[in-house]
Structure 1
Amino acid sequence: MTEPHRIDELLDEAEAMLRQTSQRVAGILMTRHEPGRYTLTLSDSVPFGETREQIVS
């Protein structure tokens, strides 16, 4: 399993990459599927400049 601080670094990097491609029209939705497993996507339901988190069980 990846160390918690490394997971935070990877999530920060992914978020920064998505911000660069957002074209100022979408925010970022971070979904936690299980501990240590996440997806980040651009989402029209999230205002530009914001990141929202959700947990899926």
Structure 2
Amino acid sequence: MTTILERPLAASPATELPSMDLHFSSVDEMRQGLDKAVATLIEAAKDAACGILVTRLQPGRYTVALDDSVPFGETYENIAA
């Protein structure tokens, strides 16, 4: 999943980057929930000038968070070990 954003002219530094811990019981619920979570964090990503990281922690459990290691305007997926 990749989301392209236009970089803002000035970004305010973020002291604490927002994140969401999500639990799903079905595939359809997961797809809709992850899409909604990423869409929710896009505005915050513009302000923080960083990207979004979606991490699968275990089946049905994910975190969606702003992450300084992800380039601005991109969304990366990760599977926790």
Q: CA deviation at 1:5?
A: 1.2
Give 2:61's match in structure 1, choosing from 11, 18, 37.
37
Measure, in 2, the Cα distance between the counterparts of 1:49 and 1:36: 26
Where does residue 33 of structure 2 map in the other structure?
Answer: 10
Tell me: higher relative CO, structure 1 or 2? Use CA pairs within 8 A at least 6 residues apart: 2
TM-score with structure 2 setting the length: 0.65
Q: Which has the larger radius of gyration?
A: 2
Where does residue 43 of structure 2 map in the other structure?
Answer: 20
TM-score with structure 1 setting the length: 0.89
* More strand per residue: 1
Aligned residues: 57
Q: CA deviation at 1:24?
A: 5.5
Query: Unaligned stretches of 5+ in structure 1?
Result: none
Aligned partner letter, 1:21: A
Q: CA deviation at 1:28?
A: 0.3
Measure, in 1, the Cα distance between the counterparts of 2:48 and 2:55: 21
* More helix per residue: 1
Tell me the secondary structure at the aligned position of residue 14 of structure 1.
Answer: helix
